[in-house]
Amino acid sequence: MKRMIVSACMCGLMIMTMGCGKADGGSAGAADKTTDKETAVMNMTTMANDTADVNKEDVTVKISTTMGDIRVRLYGDTPRHRDNFIKLAKEGFYDGVLFHRVINEFMVQTGDPESKNAPKGKMLGSGDPGYTLEAEFVYPKHFHKRGALAAARQGDQVNPDRRSSGSQFYIVTGKAYGAAQMEQMEAQLQMAQQQGIFQRLVGENRAKIQEMQRNGDQAGLMKLQDELIAITEAEAAENPATLTEEQRKAYSTEGGTPHLDGQYTVFGEVISGMDVVDAIQKVDTDRNDRPTEDVKIISVEVE
């Protein structure tokens, strides 16, 4: 296991302290596009109250698109994301935005304000309302089954806390998986869990790492890496990432995108109009996964 973590994270100490060239532009999944724009981070203080004081009721909204209506349930146990979505909907923020990233048997993504009236061929996916949201992982209760509504975000290298985009979201389409494929997915989930723990630990030791780098203490850096790997192994062993029976049933029948589980905030699900989502995912797209003919949100209405 140590070799597996080292091969995946051997540059982790350097990356976390020195940064990387580009950010993931708020996209979801392994096919992320990159952009040089940095997303501003703002704590949504009105949404960050103790969850004991937050209304945990689900809310239903209707997303009217140029290809039909999609009704979704926003989960009450992800209140920051629910309330932010409602706020933007009531402000008309989503009116006119495009489904700018569409991948068949994966997901359809929207919510970029820069997509409004965007010229044909323009690469999209870096727009936002000027803030991000604290992650709300309610996993494995909420997972990436077919029809799941989840928040897009920048990648782990520039976003180790996995904060969500303030506006961009995607709806999962995915595909069904066999037993052997799910075993492989479970192994990938465990690797992602280990990488997440390791990156968190690197962040917590940032000052120590920077001091060692300034002093040219390569031996100290390697020793610290071994220590962090040992802690990672112990934490992962205490609560290993596995698929629940509900996940296995959903992924083997309805389908979804299990490799995203536990990494992106799932904050709702489609309750009607999945046929519209399926129609959107099958439209022709360009090399940037943008539909060649615009698919647009007309309005979002809180019911």
d(CA 83, CA 50): 14
pLDDT tops 60 at residue 38:
no
pLDDT tops 80 at residue 51:
no
pLDDT score at 222? 92
pLDDT score at 21? 33
pLDDT score at 241? 82
Spell out the residues 6+ positions from residue 45 whose beta carbon is closer than 8 angstroms to its own. Answer: none
DSSP label of 256: B
d(CA 26, CA 109): 10
Token pair 């960050």: residue: 48
Spell out the residues 6+ positions from residue 173 whose beta carbon is closer than 8 angstroms to its own. Answer: 104, 105, 106, 107, 108, 146, 255, 277, 278, 281
One DSSP character per residue, 108-163 reads: EEE--GGGTTPPTT-------SS-EE-----TTTS--BTTEEEE----TTT-TT-P
**What is the per-residue pLDDT across 115-169, written as a single tens digit (0 to 9) for each?**
999 999 899 999 999 999 999 999 989 999 999 999 999 998 899 899 999 999 9
**What is the per-residue pLDDT across 252-293, written as a single tens digit (0 to 9) for each?**
999 999 889 888 999 999 999 999 999 999 999 999 999 999
Q: How confident is the model at residue 53 (pLDDT cuts 50, 70, 90)?
A: low
On whether the CB atoms of residues 128 and 164 are closer than 8 A, the answer is: no
**What is the per-residue pLDDT across 193-249, written as a single tens digit (0 to 9) for each?**
898 899 889 989 999 999 999 999 999 999 999 999 999 999 999 888 888 999 999
Q: Between 47 and 54, whose confidence is greater?
A: 54
pLDDT score at 54? 62
